[in-house]
Chain A
């Protein structure tokens, strides 16, 4: 009896493997790799690389500006004033609780509809074009997430650190900048790397307010050529970008491994 059962199990497992091999590996290979039109790929590659450059620029600017924003939010979250704390928390909830796409629409179309008032304040140039809007919203969005990382990392530092520093008579600012902040940064390296990758993936939504980043460029080229390979090339570019950044984060993390505080 058990032998028969065993045979059945073996047959099922072989069948399953064949199915996975066929459906998961061979069929996509046949659909993708063997039907690639290399001339077409080379033709569209420069435009896609240009789009990738725009994605990189957008994310680079927003992520670094967002770092400063996160620092500001962290100060507000750690301040003694209840009002400042609850404002920073409410901002974080708003940014992390709603879709990035909706925030983009709200700022670009919603605030953009107050053109008269904005012209009066001299801020119209910021909301007139799609690029500054995308940078503003992405910066605010990633600032909220980065602040969450930083606040969490600061809270997890052992309280003995602060007590020891206070016992040495160090000033508040030195305690923060020379003792707490570097350790918090080190322990949140991985989280920062993940946040960078999420920002890149999220930035694809700016193509929906007519920006030609990598996704926007892909949509444009597809609507012109109706050749679906554009999407595969774009996917490959995104994949390489994300994997490269992941490798970089891993290397940075390993470089600082010996300095890890806790």
Chain B
């Protein structure tokens, strides 16, 4: 029994170790690529929601509300199949031949959804900054771009750190959904391995443990960053 488990998980011939590890790598890369995109987009979305122009404000509000109320899986399908059929419908020689890869669709969907949620985090962080900060910066004669980037942004980032680390954990778990459109990430690889070897309990159990390790690792790192931030101030 033990021998068979070891040989199933070995990295060499006949073992699935490398196969599962590749999936783990794809999961990590997906999450690490989607998170920065999501936070930058979320910050822009938050700025748009603070805009005085009703067109920008309403559009941003509309998109963030929609993205926050649809299931992530449905958003993923809409982006994956929708972009493909939209590209086809243009009927231009170059555009119609383009293929949307599952990886691209996954990054787009995950980062759009996480952007909508992080815009809420940024919004509450902006609300927590006292008005005196703006007034002081104005009275020093700083241009508005400098006020935003050098005075307000560092404080907003610090205040939104707990919310953003929460979102990172959610994002890490949501990468599982991308297996539904065929991206060979952790769950896809383990379910292939489970189907071929007829050992679903073992392989899905390993995936559970790997996710727990990933979550534990990132929560440790995030704790460290937050503690360092608090110490610095």
| A residues at B contact (CB < 8 Å) | 13, 16-17, 20-21, 24-25, 31, 93-94, 97-103, 105-106, 109-114, 197, 200-205, 207-208, 215, 218-219, 222, 228, 231, 234-235, 238-239, 242-243, 246
Contact flag A98-B82 (CB < 8 Å), given A110-B205, A113-B201, A215-B71: no
- DSSP majority for the B interface? helix
Which of A31, A106, A208, A239 meets B70, CB within 8 Å? A239
Binds A, one of B103-111, B151-159, B170-178: B170-178
Number of B residues with CB within 8 Å of any CB on chain A: 41
How many Å lie between the Cα of A203 and that of B72 in the bound state? Answer: 10
Inter-chain contacts of B177 with A (CB < 8 A) = 99, 101, 205
Whether a CB of chain A sits under 8 angstroms from the CB of B200 is: yes
Known: A17-B55, A231-B74. 17 other contacts (CB 8 A): A17-B56, A24-B59, A99-B173, A101-B177, A105-B204, A106-B201, A109-B191, A110-B194, A110-B201, A113-B199, A114-B201, A201-B70, A204-B74, A205-B73, A219-B77, A239-B69, A242-B69
Q: Can you list 29 pairs linking A and B with CB atoms under 8 Å apart?
A: A16-B56, A20-B48, A20-B59, A24-B63, A97-B211, A97-B212, A97-B215, A98-B173, A98-B215, A100-B176, A102-B176, A102-B211, A103-B208, A110-B200, A197-B69, A201-B71, A201-B72, A204-B72, A204-B73, A205-B73, A208-B73, A208-B180, A215-B74, A218-B74, A222-B81, A228-B81, A231-B81, A238-B69, A239-B69
Selected contact of A106 from candidates B53, B82, B205, CB within 8 Å: B205
B201, A111: Cβ atoms closer than 8 Å: yes
Given contacts A101-B179, A222-B81, A228-B81, contact A207 B73 (CB under 8 A): yes
